[in-house]
Amino acid sequence: MRETGDIRIDAVPMGATDHDGRVRVTAGGRIGVWADDRVDVYEREAFLAGAREAVAGWALPPGARVEPTADGGFVVAEASRVRAVTGDGETRWELPHDAWHGGRRPPGAPGAPAPSPCGRFVAATVPTLLPEEHAGRAILRYDEPKLAYGRDRLLLLDARTGAVLAERPVAAVSGAADLKWRADGAVLAASFWTAWYSWAGYWMEPAPGALRVLGAGGDRHQVVAFVPGSSRVVTLRRAEFMSLDDERYELALYDAGDPSPRAELDLNDLSWDVENDDFTHAYAIDARHLLLTGDWAPRGGAVEPTHWLLAADSLRPLGRLRYPRAVGDGTWLTHDSGHLHRWRLGLSGEPPTADGIRARR
């Protein structure tokens, strides 16, 4: 299977623009740019054409994680509260909670909140601070200050009022959180990372008064993508080398309602240099293609940033591209020395390459 890496898929740019910060598509299909101290939101086509007039912006409080909403506002997760604000900075609602402990660092939210694409819900993670009489069953304890934490809780909030509609305990304690919604807002994926335990990921659907679990990824798998126009879920296991059996990279593909994977790919099978290759993430470009990012060594060569194109229905490797970042509408973005480039795969009727796939501007 590693010979698939010899297949090169041409990519032709759709355009380029300068930028400063981390760029990501947000709710409502806009572009969000995260800098060190603020996030700004732009209309996507205008931003990619070079315009720099933000439709909304928000200064980041210390330790906060901010996510734009489809209506031009923001949801802000902080050390001891979650709140929704308008684009003008007016607070719509606020939900206080126990403070996250920052260890030797100032307390801050462990992950960004997740407003749903449909505008009805906000998902957020909050800590569970135990009273002193229950400290004996604490999973995580700090001596100074004397605090005892149980399992974190995943909350489903009403996006209009901040009311708690449902909650679930999760398999993490003061760990990193990664929440993402399917494009129709009908399924929420939640992944949690805890030191020495790696990732635990599962997906669920909002139900009256509950978050109903539909399925879960394998051991140490993070949910990384939903395949557009389908019920398929993509999970990724990374080699974190926390134990003797933790040197494997793996992708898995599920149907949302089926607990067994429909396809799996041992990513070490793509490697000529297993000890040095590093696969970092997977993205859904469109209903047919996934993009796998990482550092990979070609046959007889040195490790280089290399991204694979995979079939979204089977995880079959199709060949390699370079420096892509999926946007979610069939295009992807790449970053190079302060420049942002936009790409897409070729359309039917365009001249194909030897492997039948061509990317065009």
Distance CA(58)–CA(76), nearest Å, equals 10
DSSP codes of every residue in 312-359: TTT--EEEEE-S--B-SSSEEEEEETTEEEEEEEPPTTSPP-TTS--E
In a domain, 354, yes or no: yes
In the chain (361 residues long), the average pLDDT of successive 10-residue segments reads 70 72 84 89 88 88 89 92 91 93 72 91 91 66 69 94 95 80 94 82 92 92 94 89 68 93 93 84 93 87 86 94 57 72 65 39 36
In a domain, 282, yes or no: yes
Distance CA(276)–CA(297), nearest Å, equals 8
In a domain, 4, yes or no: yes
pLDDT at site 336:
67
Contact 217, 235 (CB under 8 A): yes
Contact 164, 157 (CB under 8 A): yes
Strand order in the sheet with 121-126: 114-115, 121-126, 153-158, 164-169
| Contacting residues for 266 by C-beta, under 8 A, at least 6 apart | 248, 249, 250
pLDDT at site 143:
61
CATH code for position 269: 2.40.128
pLDDT at site 324:
46
Distance CA(335)–CA(323), nearest Å, equals 7
DSSP character at residue 45: H
Q: What is the pLDDT of residues 7-47, one digit of tens each?
A: 767 666 677 777 778 888 887 788 999 988 899 999 988 88
DSSP codes of every residue in 169-185: E-S-SS-EEEEEE-TTS
Give the bridge partners for 177, in sequence order. 192
In a domain, 29, yes or no: no
pLDDT at site 163:
97
Give the bridge partners for 68, in sequence order. 74
In a domain, 159, yes or no: no
Q: What total of structural domains would you count in the chain?
A: 1
**68 preceded by cis ω (within 30°)?**
no
pLDDT at site 13:
64
Q: Is the torsion defined by CA of 267, 239, 320, 25 positive or negative?
A: positive
In a domain, 43, yes or no: no
pLDDT at site 74:
94
Residue 253's domain comprises 1-19+226-361
Amino acid at 354: A
Q: pTM score, two decimals?
A: 0.83
Q: What is the pLDDT of residues 85-132, one digit of tens each?
A: 998 889 999 999 988 876 656 778 878 899 999 899 999 999 888 877
In a domain, 287, yes or no: yes
In a domain, 169, yes or no: no
